[in-house]
Amino acid sequence: MAYKIFFFGTSDFSVPSLEALLDDPRFTVAGVVTKPDAPIGRHQTMTPPPVKTMALENNVEVLQFDKVKTDETFNVLKQLQDELEIDAYVVVSYGKIIPQRVLDLPKEGAINVHGSLLPRWRGASCVQAAIAAGDEKSGVTIMLMDAEMDRGDVLAQKEVEIGKEETGGELHDRLAELGASALPDVLFEYLEDNIKPEPQDHSQATFCKILKREDGKIDWSKSAAEIERLVRAYNPWPCTWTEWDNKRIKILKARSPLNPPLIKGEAMGIPEVVEEKLFIQCGDGKSLEILELQPEGKRTMTAKEYLAGHR
């Protein structure tokens, strides 16, 4: 007899995990809870979350709550629990804080897949934070949930090395697949009472915030190495950017050379051309080579293409 699961998720990170549970005969996904449809893009077209699309394609009932911490939401989930006798909730990148009384509804509680090696990088931007900090490793943590953010006891962790040129988007996708590959077996073994949850060492916890578009503005007083990591970490979201001639320019790819050219004068944050390459001096006196950028209102281009039209 398959275990009955309710899946909470919203973003692209959630999709591989939902797919893994849908494909595993040990589980029945009895319902999906996701955030409401949202306006996306220049034309603000109402768009369903990726998880909703997958759920409907597999004939799974979808619930979308504007707020989770209301009596109305609790009563709906409580009624479904009484009717369906759900064994566990699985939460992957849902995007809302779930109150304890909701987490306590299923027989065996709630299990979360988080994109970091907890207790390092609790919070919403854990993938970007690992790259920005220069971490050599990242991974996924599968844990029990409580009302506190990312503090639950650990069921399993899977580790990967971060590539020296890896972007936030690339690591995000790798970790989404890593979590999905580990989730079914870990969940099954937990429900079979074959895994003993291990408490986190809360004294070692580090935290990251919810990123906004403005967080991508480059502070050129930082070192070249720091900015290079931010360029990778924030690609594709929120994307690093700067302003030249009162126009916003996205910096999509950059390199911190081992032997950067010396730029004379007070040139921090100002683009300079050296040997047909584009450099910007940073706060540590070293220069960052810009490899790929996107001027406001224009297409993405290499630095060479940009220089051809912006001497």
Tokens 């972007």 correspond to what residue? 167
Contact 58, 77 (CB under 8 A): no
Q: Does the CA dihedral 149-137-233-217 come out positive or negative?
A: positive
Where residue 259 falls among pLDDT bands split at 50, 70, 90? low
CATH code of the domain in which 174 resides? 3.40.50.170
Does one domain contain both 237 and 185? no
Q: Does the CA dihedral 194-197-184-145 come out positive or negative?
A: positive
CATH code of the domain in which 276 resides? 3.10.25.10
Does one domain contain both 64 and 43? yes
Does one domain contain both 203 and 217? no
pLDDT at 257 over 90: no
pLDDT at 265 over 60: no
Backbone phi and psi for residue 285, each to the nearest 5 degrees, phi listed first: 85, -10
Does one domain contain both 157 and 10? yes
Q: What is the pTM of this model?
A: 0.94
Contact 214, 232 (CB under 8 A): no
Taking residues 81-85, report their average pLDDT: 97
Domain span including residue 299: 213-309
Does one domain contain both 257 and 239? yes
Where residue 306 falls among pLDDT bands split at 50, 70, 90? very high
Within the chain, where are the H helices? 15-22, 50-57, 71-84, 100-103, 126-132, 168-191, 224-233, 303-309
What does the pLDDT look like over 23-41, one tens digit per residue? 999 999 999 999 999 888 7
| Count of positions (residues) in the chain | 311
What does the pLDDT look like over 165-215, one tens digit per residue? 999 999 999 999 999 999 999 999 999 999 999 999 999 999 999 999 999
If we measure between CA atoms, which residue out of 260, 267, 271 comes closest to residue 283?
Answer: 267
Where residue 88 falls among pLDDT bands split at 50, 70, 90? very high
Q: CB count, 10 Å around CB of 246?
A: 6
85: exposed, middle or buried (Cβ count in 10 Å: 0-12, 13-18, 19+): exposed
Contact 292, 304 (CB under 8 A): no
Does one domain contain both 202 and 234? no
CA 69 from chain centre, in angstroms, equals 23
Does one domain contain both 40 and 54? yes
Assigned token pair, 303 = 């630095």
84: exposed, middle or buried (Cβ count in 10 Å: 0-12, 13-18, 19+): middle
What does the pLDDT look like over 269-286, one tens digit per residue? 888 888 889 999 899 888
pLDDT at 47 over 90: yes
Does one domain contain both 296 and 198? no
Assigned token pair, 5 = 């699961």
Please give, one letter per residue, the 3-state secondary structure of 291-305: EEEEECCCCCEEHHH
Does one domain contain both 164 and 60? yes
The amino acid at 168: G
Q: CB count, 10 Å around CB of 67?
A: 8
Per-chain mean pLDDT for the chain: 94
Q: Dihedral, CA atoms, 121, 122, 128, 133, nearest 10 degrees? A: -20
The residue ranking higher by pLDDT, 49 or 245, is 49
Does one domain contain both 121 and 255? no
pLDDT at 258 over 70: no
The domain boundary residue, chosen from 192, 208, 224: 208
Q: CB count, 10 Å around CB of 66?
A: 10
The domain boundary residue, chosen from 182, 208, 234: 208
Does one domain contain both 13 and 148? yes
Domain tally for the chain? 2
DSSP letter, residue 219: -
Does one domain contain both 173 and 31? yes
The domain boundary residue, chosen from 208, 231, 263: 208
The amino acid at 199: P
The amino acid at 131: I
Q: How far is CA 283 from CA 175, 222, 225, 234, 269, in A?
A: 33, 5, 10, 20, 9
